[in-house]
Amino acid sequence: MTLSSVRNTIRILIVALAAATAFAGVSHAQQPTDPNTIPDNENLANQAQQQKQKELEASPLTVDPKEEAAYKAFFDTSAQDTDKKIQLGEDFAKTYPKSSYIESVYAVLSQAYYTKQDWKNLYLISDEALAINPDDVDILTLVGWVIPHVIDPNTPDAGKQLDKAEDYEKRAIKDIPTLTKPPGMTDEQFATIKLEKTAEAHSGLGLVYFRRQDFENAAKELQQATQSNPNPDATDFFALGASLQNSGHFSEAADAYTRCSQIMGSLQDACKQNADKAKQLAAQKK
pLDDT in tens, 85-139: 999 999 999 999 999 999 999 999 999 999 999 999 999 999 999 999 999 999 9
- Alpha carbons 101 and 93: distance in angstroms, whole number: 9
Output the domain CATH number for residue 176: 1.25.40.10
Mean pLDDT score of the chain, rounded to an integer? 83
Residues 145 and 165: their CA atoms lie apart, in Å, by 7
- Pick the last residue of a domain from 128, 143, 176: 128
What phi, psi does 153 have (nearest 5°)? -65, -10
Q: In 176-230, where does DSSP find H-type helix?
A: 187-211, 215-227
CA distances from 154 to 151, 183, 275 (A): 9, 45, 29
Residue 24 pLDDT > 80: no
Residue 255 pLDDT grade (very low, low, confident, very high; cuts 50, 70, 90): very high
Are residue 75 and residue 205 in the same domain, yes or no? no
**Same-domain check for residues 221 and 270:** yes
pLDDT at 39 over 50: no
pLDDT at residue 8, as a whole number: 40
Do both 113 and 242 map to the same domain? no
Q: What pLDDT was estimated at residue 229?
A: 80
* pLDDT higher than threshold 70 for residue 35: no
Where is average pLDDT lowest: 4-8, 155-159, 201-205?
Answer: 4-8
Same domain, 24 and 149: yes
- Which amino acid is present at 27? S
Domain count along the chain: 2
Q: Are residues 54 and 110 in the same domain?
A: yes
* Domain C-terminal end among 107, 128, 149: 128
- The rounded Cα 252 to chain-centroid distance in angstroms is 25
If asked whether residues 23 and 147 sit together in one domain, one would say yes
Q: Which value, in Å, is the radius of gyration of the alpha carbons in the chain?
A: 21
**Hey, what's the torsion of the CAs at 263, 264, 265, 271, to 10 degrees?**
40
Q: Within 10 A of 188 (CB to CB), how many other CB atoms are there?
A: 9
Residues 272 and 152 in one domain: yes
Lowest mean pLDDT among 48-62, 206-220, 228-242: 48-62
- Do 60 and 218 meet the contact criterion of CB atoms below 8 Å apart? no
Contact 137, 179 (CB under 8 A): yes
Say if residue 259's pLDDT is above 90.
Answer: yes
Residue finishing a domain among 128, 145, 171: 128
In tens, the pLDDT along 47-82 reads 545 544 544 444 445 678 999 999 999 999 999 999
Compute the distance between CA of residue 61 and CA of residue 143 in angstroms, rounded to an integer: 34
Cα distances (angstroms) measured from residue 207 to each of 67, 137, 151, 217: 41, 18, 11, 10
Q: Report which of residues 45 and 123 the model is more confident about.
A: 123
pLDDT of residue 216: 97
* pLDDT in the model for residue 264: 93
Q: CA 97: distance to chain centroid?
A: 26
**145-170 burial, b for 16+ CB within 10 Å, e for fewer?**
bbbbbbbeeeeeeeeebbebbbebbb
DSSP string covering 246-262, please?
Answer: HTT-HHHHHHHHHHHHT
pLDDT in the model for residue 230: 75
Mark whether 71 and 15 lie in a shared domain.
Answer: no
Which residue has better confidence, 19 or 200? Answer: 200
**Distance, CA of 262 to CA of 268 (rounded, Å):** 7
Q: What range does the domain containing 285 cover? A: 1-30+135-286
First-last CA distance in the chain: 15
Q: 154 and 245 in one domain?
A: yes
Query: Would you say residue 31 has pLDDT above 50?
Result: no
Instruction: Flag whether pLDDT at 43 surpasses 70.
Output: no
CA gap 69, 165 in Å, rounded: 36
Q: How many CA atoms lie within 13 A of 232 on its CB side?
A: 21
Query: Do 36 and 2 share a structural domain?
Result: no
The reported pLDDT for the residue numbered 228 is 73
Among 181, 239, 245, residue whose Cα is nearest residue 206? 239
- Least trusted range by pLDDT, from 48-57, 74-83, 214-223, 236-245: 48-57
**One domain, residues 182 and 251:** yes
Give the pLDDT confidence score for residue 30 in this predicted structure. 29
Residue 6 scores a pLDDT above 50: no
Amino acid 72 reads K
Check whether residue 172 and residue 260 sit in a common domain: yes
